[in-house]
Amino acid sequence: MRFVSPISAVCVLSVSAYFTQAHAQTHTFNISAHTFSDALAAFQKQSGLSVLANTEDTRHLSGPYVVSGKMSDVEALKQLVKKGSFTVHQSSPRTLVIEKAQFPKGHAKHVYAGGEEEIVATGRQTRSVMTVGGEQMQATMPGQNPLQALSILPGVTFTNVDPWGNNEQNSSIYVHGFSTTQLGYTLDGIPLGAGAYGNYNGLSPQRAAISEDISKVALSSGTGALGTASSSNLGGTIDFTTADPKKKAGATVKQIFGSYNTFRTFARVDTGNFGNNNSAYFAFSRQDARAWNLNGANRQGGYQVNAKFLHKGEKTKITAYFDWQNKSEPNTQGLSINSNDWLTDPTKQYTRGAFYPDLAAAMANYPSMSSKSKAPAAPNNQYYFSSAQRTDFLTYLKISHRFNSHLTWDNNLYFHYDDGAGVVATSIRTNAILTILGTYLDPSASKYIKNGQFTYSQKGIDPTVWNKTGGTGFATRTTEYTDYRGGLTSTFHYRVGHHNIETGIWYERNNNEAARRWYALSATNTLTPYQTPKDPLFTQWQNKFYTDTFVFHVQDTWKVLPNLTVMAGMKLEQVNTNGTLPVAALPQSLATNTTGSKTLDSNTQTAAGGTISAFKPFLPAVGMVWDFTRHEQVFVNIQKNMNSFAESGYGTTSPWGVSSQAEFEDFKKHGKPETSWTYEAGLRTFRPINSKFLDSISGQLEYYHVNFYDRLGAIKKPDAGISGVGTTIANLGDVTTDGVDLSFTLKFNQHFSLYDAVSYIKSRYDNNFTDGTELYLAKNKTVPGIPVWSDKFVLRYNVGAFQTQVNGEWMAQRPGTYTNTLYAPPRFTMGYSARYSFYNIPHVNNLTLQFNIYNLTNARTWSSLAVGDTANYTAYPMTPRTFYGTVSASF
């Protein structure tokens, strides 16, 4: 772990010089609260003033907070912070400042702390770092995926078909031109892997911690810290931080009700301080909701448990954490889009739905054995059902020891186990699916083969295949996962003179497995989206991977002048993966369409595998931050990063996903891991404004340039469907990206604030590329899935215990194909929330009522996109307008 100055951890930094102190007002106060934020909310309501404070300094204060009687505003605020070493003074007629006593006046950096945290925090590092706090996250959408909270930041494009952002199958995030699996993710410093669906080396953040237990989410949008435990952070890192246990015993209960039968429960119990500076909490959540575009039997949600223990000794800090979750959620089928006017054409589909649990309707839709029957209307046919099932156990033990004022040693030992499956009950009436099933269930049925594949169009479906799959016209395909991984991070921090030297290692051992299996679906054994089937008809393939990751880093942060800091460092990264294939797919089951062939094509194969190492001995980073005025600073950062090879097999963007052992050996000899050079420079301001209407302005302007080398891509031919037939690995060449982000927060007196973020990005392919048979003229084309322009805003109003906000996001059109021939049209979405807190209720610390509207304007637009070739792309619909009510109480 790195030492982080309290200055760098604040929410929005806004004041570093103070105005002439005005005459203090006198009011009659009656404040009784258990948390500091609640106490400040009451103070603001009773005094009519706003408060500036460093939340990193004040969050450790312990209650109760009681102020009663007639006194000056300054004296009342002093009583609230009397347990800490603080000074209180007035910076303007409407603003009071809480300051650490040891900070020289004029040099502390503050945030608005009138009972509410800032919308976005801007860090003061040599690189761009922005933070969204847990309170803002819950205000926007209670219980949401913490990754979705980053969608308000500049340079970020996050989309999901689910209003909470929880559906992993279609979740999509781009940061400065890099996609989901090219970013790094950590929770309290623990690596969460590459963020892939069916993650092979980690888990998603919403599975690693309950949403309400996340205290903040920080995005390093260009480059992550050298000590970040990630081997995929080409385009920066996303760090999730869980809340610490409270010092005072208590409990919190939250209940959410909403559209589509939403029912979410959250409960947390804090022990408060016990023993020798110990504290802990236990939290539980349960979510159940209908998938909005499916019928009522298709439910999403599950259960989750968190526990955290904290010991703060004189020199040693010990933290232990545990997470368990079990969930199942139906997957939404995307639509294959082949025209730019799809959304405005009333004859086109917007959602695909699923037949489950009406098997009779599914069978009636796809007539069974007739040789004259047509195939489903591929590629937009419906599944019977599709779902993702995941169970995780995650735990860590963190020990930090301070030897003296110069030397600290941080250690973090962790373990993660995942068991999951992606389940699809699909019609067997397509050539691709029939070819797989026929190869295993009736390999000698040559009369049903045409053009190298099994077919229904000439002779009808092979009755052997039909009967063995259950006689319904459907079969169930699974991709079953297990993942065991554990590791250690160990970091020394040594402060000497004006230097802060950091050096550390990260080691992880990961054993993961994935298997493709097929099951019968009969009228008497219909299966469900909520169970993994048993007794497969056959295992099509099975991959096992054994990976050792070792990363070493060292850096020096040198305070050259009081207002100038320089950082330089490097890391060594080596990832060795041994990919094996205990069960290889029969070549015929991966057959491509061969015109005129009367037998199954046997050319396509799966790779037996072997060991490949991704190794870079020197990945440098240099940067500086210069406070050239009391309110403005400049930062510059340059860094090189590497993305290790994905530990996954056939059908994925991985060396083990090629179609023959010869191709694997060739890649092992000549292939290279993805790398990037990132250059970023920016200007920050934290300026108070002494005007009648505007209190302060804070913000950041950033320019970045990225050279992305040796980009790997999986190319899937049109209409390949879920079979994966025709998928191969292609080198897409290099990508060059230039972009500008501008974000700012305006504070209008103590009641109004406006946050806005504007982004421009030009991310272009440097090369044409081929998938082996087709040339894609992609050179100088825009990287698909990313809007060139975007704008996000949050307008907040608060007075006393009431707060309301409107948030919005606009995206320009997004290319849907590599050659930019198709695109998703521009989209604009909005959300709304309002809440009111009641205090001074007997035996209740506070009672809060909250109301949220998702997709306020009921926009009909695309959420996530899955990039296509030249003829089509896959798009997922946006959740319609939905309503949610939340009741929460703390004791």
Give the CATH number for residue 879.
2.40.170.20
Confidence of residue 107 (pLDDT cuts 50, 70, 90): very low
Whether the pLDDT of residue 16 is over 50: the answer is: no
Q: Is residue 186 part of a domain?
A: no
Q: Using an 8 Å Cβ cutoff, are 233 and 168 in contact? A: no
For residue 561, the surrounding DSSP H or E stretch is strand 538-561
Quick check: is 756 in a domain? yes
Residue 285 is assigned to a structural domain of this protein: yes
For 710: left if phi > 0, alpha if psi spans -120 to 50, otherwise beta; the answer is: left
- What pLDDT, on a 0 to 100 scale, did the predictor assign at position 4? 34
Tokens of 395: 């735990």
Q: Looking at the predicted structure, is the pLDDT value of residue 854 above 70?
A: yes
For 189-227, how does the pLDDT look when each residue is reduced to its tens digit (9 = 90+)? 999 999 988 889 999 999 999 999 999 999 998 778 889
The mean pLDDT value of the chain amounts to 87
pLDDT at 598: 67
773: buried, middle or exposed (CB in 10 Å: 19+, 13-18, 0-12)?
Answer: exposed
Helix axes 36-47, 73-80, angle to 10 degrees: 170
Determine the average pLDDT of the residues in 19-30: 61
Q: 807-818 pLDDT, tens per residue?
A: 999 999 999 998
Cα–Cα distance measured from residue 185 to residue 158, given in angstroms and rounded to the nearest whole number: 15
* Domain boundary pick from 112, 142, 158: 112
Predicted confidence band of residue 734 (pLDDT cuts 50, 70, 90): very high
Most confident of 46-50, 51-55, 541-545, 722-726: 541-545
Residues 6+ apart with CB under 8 A from 718: 379, 868, 869, 871, 872
Residue reference for tokens 């009969």: 522
810 within a domain of the structure (yes/no): yes
Per-residue pLDDT, averaged over 126-139, amounts to 91
Whole-number Cα distances in Å, 334 to 474, 721, 863 = 19, 11, 10
**Residue range 526-530: mean pLDDT, rounded:** 88
Q: How far apart are CA 110 and CA 587, in angstroms?
A: 64
pLDDT at 544: 95
Residue type, 469: T
Task: Give 155-168 pLDDT, tens digit per residue.
Answer: 999 999 999 999 99
pLDDT (0 to 100) of residue 720: 46
Q: Is the pLDDT of residue 573 over 60?
A: yes
In a domain, 234, yes or no: no
Of 239-243, 326-330, 361-365, 725-729, least confident by mean pLDDT is: 725-729
Is the pLDDT reported for residue 18 higher than 50?
no
Would 755 be classed as within a structural domain? yes
Tokens (6 digits) for 529: 């989206």
Position 11 pLDDT exceeds 70: no
More confident residue, 180 or 5: 180
pLDDT of residue 592: 60
Q: What is the CATH number of the domain that holds 18?
A: 3.55.50.30
- Distance between CA 82 and CA 831 in Å, rounded? 40
Q: Is residue 33 part of a domain?
A: yes
**In degrees, to the nearest 5, what angle opens at C-alpha 764 toward C-alphas 157 and 634?**
65
Contact assessment for residue 151 and residue 137, using Cβ atoms and an 8 Å cutoff: no
- CA 795 to CA 548: how far, in whole Å? 47
What mean pLDDT comes out for the span 509-521? 96
The answer on pLDDT for 13 being more than 50 is: no
For residue 658, the model assigns a pLDDT of: 79
Q: Is the pLDDT of residue 769 over 50?
A: yes
Query: What is the rounded CA–CA span in Å between residue 511 and residue 585?
Result: 21
The distance of Cα 743 from the centroid of its chain, to the nearest Å, equals 21
Q: Which domain holds residue 89?
A: 6-112
Domain boundary among 59, 83, 112: 112
* Residue 1 confidence class, pLDDT cut points 50, 70, 90: very low
The answer to whether residue 17 scores a pLDDT higher than 50 is: no
Q: Is residue 394 part of a domain?
A: yes
Over residues 142-161, the mean pLDDT reads 95
Stretch among 306-320, 438-452, 787-801 having the lowest mean pLDDT: 438-452
Tally of domains within the chain: 2
Query: Is pLDDT above 80 for 729?
Result: no
The confidence band for 136, taking pLDDT boundaries of 50, 70 and 90, is very high
Q: What is the CA radius of gyration of the chain?
A: 28
Give the whole-number percent of the chain exceeding pLDDT 70: 88
- Run of H or E including 80: helix 73-80
Structural domain ending residue among the three candidates 112, 134, 149: 112
Using CA atoms, how far apart are residues 200 and 353, in angstroms rounded to an integer?
A: 28
